[in-house]
Amino acid sequence: MLDTLQTQIGAAITVLVVAFAFLKGDEPERIGGGAYVLAWFASLLIQDDGAGTGVQWGLMGVDFVLMAVYAGLSWKSRRAWPVWASGLQALIVMSHLLTLVDIRPPLMAFYAVMNLASYGILLALAIGAFRAWHERRVIGLE
């Protein structure tokens, strides 16, 4: 789970970005950050580290639900970051679907797509929270 330095650094980045979204973001950023953290914890709990092949149905379900949350945020909010987050999350879901239809991408490519897309989602969330905070500062609410 968090046994290597890379996963610990990734966890620290996740916690920092989500904390920033909760502290400085508006409601869409808080919902997006909360959904990301819940999906992250669920993924840590249900992933099968020993499975080198096949579909991990639990992870696919969690990623699909997170994509639906971001798509809902894209639809209901007037922000740009949920569109980027839902697009990147759709890329992760499509990676799961590649293994489902037995395309057999290299396992490291699968993990690279998932990790890079996850960092892209965190970047979109951080930019969204920063913009919300900046807008409040400009109009004098903070």
Q: Is the pTM value of this prediction over 0.85?
A: yes
Helix residue ranges per DSSP H, 25-106 = 27-46, 57-76, 81-100
Within 10 Å of residue 9's Cβ, how many Cβ atoms? 10
- Cβ–Cβ under 8 Å, residues 110 and 81: no
Instruction: Identify the H or E element spanning 44.
Output: helix 27-46
Q: List the pLDDT tens digit at each of the 142 positions of the chain.
A: 678 898 899 999 999 999 999 999 999 999 999 999 999 999 989 987 766 666 788 999 999 999 999 999 999 998 999 999 999 999 999 988 888 887 777 778 888 899 999 999 999 999 999 999 999 889 877 7
Name the one residue in this structure whose structure tokens are 């400085």: 24
Q: What is the CA radius of gyration of the chain?
A: 16
